[in-house]
Amino acid sequence: MTTAIPGPVHTDEALSWLVDAGIARAEAGLHREPYVRDADRPLINLASNDYLGLSTHPDVIAGAHAAIDLWGTGSTSSRLVCGTTRLHSDLENELADFLGAPAALVFSSGYLANIGAITALAGRGGLIVSDTGTHASLIDGCRLSRARVVVVDRGDHEAVRSVLAERTETRALVVTDSIYSVDGEPAPIRELYAAARDHGAALLVDEAHALGVRGPGGSGLVAESGVAGAPDLVVTGVLSKSFGAQGGLVAGSAVLRGHLIDTARTFIFDTGLNPAAAGAALAALRLLRARPDYPQRLRANAVRLAERCGAPTPSAAVISLIVGDPHKAVAAALACRERGVLVGCFRPPSVEPGTSRLRLTVRADLDDATLDHVGDVVLEALREVGATVR
């Protein structure tokens, strides 16, 4: 799939191709939750990544306030100069403990954590095996690494094995999401780890959509798969979804952490994670550890809403309703919005042509009546625009 701008010159005319095609993105995502406002009317938000509703939790807000009061509004420099506070160290230690890994390092975003980790672990003369479902930040990390990149079908661990077995490079890295961001389905983590291990490669798993959702107490799919803390396993994640804050993380061995500090360009040359985000994330992490019922409630909510929409039982907090035609998907999302429900709408270039969809991200802080209402609204909207879900 190409996202190239048609035409030879970068004029406004050429740049407006998505608008002209009628599939340009609206700014719906700018609103807040759990009930956002649209022209003075509340909207139920099923489009955010605030899976546990923690971005507005009083404890998490208090964590951000306290951090600002103590450390100010900015990190003021790279972590390596003077941007590391006690908060960053506490957050890293507690994250490592939560994830069952020896060490962790936080970045100023999940996007930068992925790029930093991949480029620090793979380079010219190395091999990366990725798959067709990976997030843009993993793809960009692969591209920037200058390693040879082989992309296999999503979930095809046998293909990963073959590529690793036939390689000429000594160093190899396998890269995957644990829960695929577009449709919320899981990757075969145990099998991928075994494939990497058997062939002397490391495995990097992005747990962005699994933390706070899957695994014991929301500790992720890697923990659920029984490989937390295993050798040559690198976990990345975000503080911007279930943790309700902002930032990214990489967890693994202490040697890995040291290597990232020395070589990950998005760590070295980027201003450290904002104190408010670190404070919020730390409060969210402590809350999550005290409340294992939050992820349970989230998963139960996802199952309930999927049933109401007639969708298959979801594996995580994402419900993906594939409509196909991008115009129908956009129309259905607008029809939901007119009925007071905000849903995500994914179309090319975020997804392959012909697979445009409504994407609902469920939340732990919605009650049964609201979930049932959302399900009814979505079905009504799809009917109104003549869309069938496949």
| Residue whose Cβ sits closest to ligand PMP | 110
Q: Which is nearer to ligand PMP, 140 or 169 (CB)?
A: 140
Q: Is 48 in the site for ligand PMP (CB under 6 A)?
A: no
Are residues 371 and 305 in contact, defined by beta-carbon separation less than 8 angstroms?
A: yes
Q: Which of 222, 238, 318, 387 binds ligand PMP (CB under 6 A)?
A: 238
Burial label for 153, CB within 10 Å (0-12, 13-18, 19+), is exposed
From residue 116 to residue 155, what is the string marking binding to ligand PMP with x (rule CB under 6 A)? Answer: -------------------x-x------------------
- The nearest distance, CB 52 to ligand PMP, in angstroms, is 15
Q: Is 114 in the site for ligand PMP (CB under 6 A)?
A: yes
Q: Is 244 in the site for ligand PMP (CB under 6 A)?
A: no
Please state whether beta strands 318-324 and 233-238 pair in parallel, antiparallel, or not at all (unpaired): unpaired
Q: Binding segment for ligand PMP among 9-17, 108-116, 193-201, 265-273 (CB under 6 A)?
A: 108-116
Q: Is 109 in the site for ligand PMP (CB under 6 A)?
A: yes
Cα 43 vs. chain centroid, distance in angstroms? 23
Q: Name residues whose C-beta falls within 8 Å of residue 195's C-beta, 6 or more positions apart in sequence.
A: 157, 158, 160, 161, 164, 174, 201
Nearest Cα neighbor of 202 from 120, 94, 111, 104 is 120
Nearest Cα neighbor of 328 from 351, 355, 350, 310 is 355
- The nearest distance, CB 110 to ligand PMP, in angstroms, is 2
Q: Is 177 in the site for ligand PMP (CB under 6 A)?
A: yes
CB count, 10 Å around CB of 161?
Answer: 20
107: left (phi over 0), alpha (psi -120 to 50) or beta: beta
- The nearest distance, CB 240 to ligand PMP, in angstroms, is 4
Q: Which of 206, 232, 270, 365 binds ligand PMP (CB under 6 A)?
A: 206
Binding site for ligand PMP (CB under 6 A): 109-111, 114, 135, 137, 177, 181, 206, 208-209, 238, 240, 248
